[in-house]
Amino acid sequence: MAACDPFAKPESLMDEYVKRLAHVLDVEPRYSELVSIERIPRPRERKLAISEIDMNMLEFLGLYGCELQFVVGEKNSIMGRVMQPLNKLRYEVRFIQAAEACLPKIDDEKLTETVLQTIEHKKQNLGKTIWNATWGTDEIAQLLSLSNGLYDPEQNKYDITQYSHDIDYLNNAVTNLLNGDFSQDLQYIGEIQQRWQYGSHAGQLHNSGRLLISRLEDATQILKQRTQQKPLCPQGKATNQARVLESMFFSVYIAKVQPYMANVDRSAEQLFEPLAELAMKQRQVMPDTFQTYFNQSLEWNNEKSLWGRYQQRVKEHTEAWQELLEQCGLRPQP
């Protein structure tokens, strides 16, 4: 049955809306190309380079009796040399904590100075490490991938709520880490990122935003064309054609299109507001190569971003409907 229902899927829903609107108004339908969107930059353009300070063997042996020796030993292992970004953050936090705890136990003045310098170096670069562990990961790229179709609110509404809570948690953890509070549950952040691997919901919302922007613009042009070129109700009274249009307004636009728009709008706000916050908290270290993507694809309150453009197209479409229906004395009353 779904295959026979043009309103069952977002793409056919919006195409059918434009088609029916054009048919009722005797206007040739026009389907524009979907608006372009910035894709998340490639890994090498997202990740920040961080210089390392290595301890030599004598310094390493001088840490005997401190947990720091075990932490450094893990880093020097084969697995430690190929750490994923979140594991690298865990290591840096453990190093700082273990090093500060070890300082009172070190008798050698030179080794004490080396450890102090290393702590300071790692704290100065912690912002970059956090960036790599959030925006530099494969998992967030999967969340924002455009390769998995359009957003389906029936299938994904519970996931969006979970993801929104997850990103709020991540924002709080990032704030605390940047403020020097290292008591964050980084294991749970790993669980959050694991969930991102199983759904590209942010990317699907991007695709739906692109679809809605383009088809609303197509439909608005149809409404404006009829308003400006051939009045639907020359006498200011509703004609039979106007009554058919009014019926279509309620049965298709209000009953079918608006619920999907509302779902996309609500889900996008739940997801992209905290995602934009996650990037803004780290703007000090944000790579230049990421800035354009942030402005155009992530930022929620930017009129030039995808979501700002979407809100503008909704406003323009609403106004076009109101203007045409008002010519016939059929404008809906609030």
CB atoms within 10 A of CB 124: 10
**191-206 per-position pLDDT tens digit:** 999 999 888 999 999 9
Distance CA 213, CA 134 (A): 29
DSSP string of 56-81, one letter each residue: PHHHHHTTTTSHHHHHHHHHHSTGGG
The pLDDT of residue 59 is: 66
Distance CA 192, CA 139 (A): 9
Q: Which residues contact 67 (CB under 8 A, 6 or more apart)?
A: 98, 101, 102
The pLDDT of residue 8 is: 86
Q: Which long-range contacts (CB under 8 A, 24 or more apart) does 310-317 make?
A: 310/209, 310/212, 310/213, 310/265, 313/212, 313/213, 313/216, 313/217, 313/220, 314/212, 314/216, 314/261, 314/265, 316/216, 316/217, 316/220, 317/216, 317/219, 317/220, 317/223
pLDDT-derived band at 72 (thresholds 50, 70, 90) equals confident
DSSP string of 218-278, one letter each residue: HHHHHHHHHHHHS-S-TTSS--HHHHHHHHHIIIIIIIIIHHHHHHHHHHHHHHHHHHHHH
The pLDDT of residue 36 is: 93
CB atoms within 10 A of CB 140: 22
The pLDDT of residue 156 is: 77
Pick from 202, 134, 199, 124: which is nearest to 169 by CA?
A: 134
The residue-averaged pLDDT of 269-288 equals: 96
Mean of pLDDT over the chain = 90
Sort residue 49 into left (φ over 0), alpha (ψ -120 to 50) or beta: beta
Q: Return the structure tokens found at 46.
A: 């997202």
- Output DSSP code: residue 104: G
**14-69 per-position pLDDT tens digit:** 999 999 999 999 999 999 999 999 999 999 999 999 988 766 655 666 677 788 87
**207-249 per-position pLDDT tens digit:** 999 999 999 999 999 999 988 888 888 887 888 999 999 999 9
Distance CA 312, CA 314 (A): 5
Distance CA 12, CA 20 (A): 12
Contact (Cβ atoms closer than 8 angstroms) between residue 132 and residue 283: no
The pLDDT of residue 81 is: 61
pLDDT-derived band at 1 (thresholds 50, 70, 90) equals very low
Q: What does the H/E/C string look like for 108-159?
A: CHHHHHHHHHHHHHHHHCHHHHHHHHHCCCHHHHHHCCCCCCCCCHHHHHHH
Pick from 269, 271, 273, 261: which is nearest to 160 by CA?
A: 271
**79-136 per-position pLDDT tens digit:** 556 689 999 999 999 999 998 998 888 888 888 888 898 899 999 999 999 999 999 9
Is 186's pLDDT higher than 70? yes
Distance CA 164, CA 161 (A): 5
- Output DSSP code: residue 304: T
Pick from 124, 55, 69, 120: which is nearest to 98 by CA?
A: 69
Q: Lowest mean pLDDT of 115-119, 288-292, 307-311, name the range.
A: 115-119
